[in-house]
Structure 1
């Protein structure tokens, strides 16, 4: 058994995945689009949008798609266990561009270097470095 996150966007999945790649998290390794290569399309406005994508990096993977009936993301976050403070700071800064920092990056009461943010696409990220 393996647990994986599946992110639902309304129409900006391509932009979100490109942003995550730009941040250095990884890249898209699989993608299917509505109405392309025999894939169904129930709403013409969704033609060409992401039906299913797999995003993979050195130590992470998740899935994502566009859904015109998607609910806003809430109640879940990606927790990234980081190896050092410099990479934690760099990734936190990159992911927070255009988003909202909810817990500033810093030493927390439990002793770890941690911060939380919601990126420009509504996805919550928690970065924790136990160094």
Structure 2
């Protein structure tokens, strides 16, 4: 079992550009899944926005990013990032969720999602938004 934390940056239509820039700076590989790829388009003008993306490098560099869809509130100064906690063991992630959720506001319950065996989001009592999930391989 292992758990990692990753900075998860939030944008409004600029996630792909940001990921490409960070890859050009730090090297590594980019993976970007659009709302269209995931079958989650609510607004056609946002179909090619990034629903889930990351840059990973062999040296350990890792950053995640997504485009906050227009139907959700977003203010770069207030909700510019999430802390992503990703693990390989559902029990371990569930335990961490239980501890972290004390005094928090659950944004999305920890439950199976189309892209992960478990996925959940909460904002803790200090105002930090956390995303917890169980890693699953992405097959384009």
- Normalized against structure 1, the TM-score is what? 0.48
Which of structures 1 and 2 has the bigger CA Rg? 1
Question: Under a length normalisation based on structure 2, what TM-score does the superposition of the two structures give?
Answer: 0.46
